[in-house]
Amino acid sequence: MTESTYTMGYGEEFRQMLDRRSADSHAAHLMPLLKPGMRVLDFGCGPGTITVGLAQAVDPGEVHGIDIEESQINLARAAAEAGGHHNATFHVGDVTDLPFDDNSFDAAHCHAVLMHVPDTLGTLSEVKRVLKPGGIISSRECIVDSSFLEPSTENTAEEWATFANLLRANGGHPQMGKELKQKLIEAGFSDITATASFDIFSAPADVAFLHAFIGDWFFSKDVIAAATNHGIATQEQFDLWRAEHDEWKDHAGAVGALAFGEAVAVKPRS
């Protein structure tokens, strides 16, 4: 059976990646649908950088963020406190067993969560349970196969495949961004709108950030140990990729992109 482990971990380098996110930039597909007074769930909210923007959009309504990891909930509470978002409440809990009543939310949002949770339909059906009839679900998830680093070498595709295989070995779904529409149909949602977008890293500071992030995360001892233990890649491959990665940063044409698919759908009224 596939082991369920959260691939990204909770290190400082990934926290900095999440710090770059906001509701306006990373939930742009949902924001026009939010209205003051709504009650919104952000499941798998992480450190709350998106959640606080959702809270601002529905004020004086309320937002509940939930995440399985207490350290993330502590960061989210601090972010809400610092921004004066008193309508945001955070909970430690599992998205497959939500501590909320049936039919109690107007909208449910997640960003980069379904790609990590093994039981997609179990999660979607639990979220559907807590949504009111006519309530909205919104998700934005990675498409690893469509993400890129350019200029690339003949080895770059192997690096992306290693990331995808690691997500799979941990019970995740590396292409979830392009599977969302089908999964939402299977879970019984209707009125589905699917879109796609990139998080792009092109300005020198953004290329430097992405280079450092990949260096600190993908080439960390923990990720290399996980990949080699699963038999996904060898230490020698990581050493070669690392050298090429350092050359990539200094290339005038360096650009990187994480591809995402988004979908918004409705819980049918009957």
Ligand X SMILES: C[S@@+](CC[C@H](N)C(=O)[O-])C[C@H]1O[C@@H](n2cnc3c(N)ncnc32)[C@H](O)[C@@H]1O
For residue 160 the two structure tokens come to 């992306």
Task: Give the helix/strand (H/E) hosting 258.
Answer: strand 255-266
Task: Name the one residue in this structure whose structure tokens are 């196969």.
Answer: 145
3-state secondary structure of 14: helix
Could you give phi then psi for residue 34, rounded to 5 degrees? -85, 140
Q: Measured between alpha carbons, how far is 96 from 170 in angstroms, rounded to an integer?
A: 17
Is 119 among the residues that bind ligand X (CB under 6 A)?
Answer: no
In the complex, the smallest distance separating the C-beta of residue 6 from ligand X, rounded to whole angstroms, is: 5
Is 94 among the residues that bind ligand X (CB under 6 A)?
Answer: yes
Tell which one of 30, 113, 176, 210 touches ligand X (CB under 6 A).
113
* Alpha carbon of residue 124 to chain centroid: 15
Tell which one of 5, 6, 33, 156 touches ligand X (CB under 6 A).
6
DSSP code of residue 144: G
Q: Measured between alpha carbons, how far is 88 from 53 in angstroms, rounded to an integer?
A: 10
User: What size, in residues, is the chain?
Assistant: 270
Tell which one of 27, 29, 30, 44 touches ligand X (CB under 6 A).
44
Is 107 among the residues that bind ligand X (CB under 6 A)?
Answer: no
Q: Mark 121-160 with x for binding to ligand X (rule: CB under 6 A) and - for no binding.
A: ----------------------------------------
Q: Mark 53-92 with x for binding to ligand X (rule: CB under 6 A) and - for no binding.
A: --------------xxx--x--------------------
Is 46 among the residues that bind ligand X (CB under 6 A)?
Answer: yes
Site residues, ligand X (CB under 6 A): 6, 8, 18, 21, 44-46, 49-50, 67-69, 72, 94-96, 111-113, 116-117
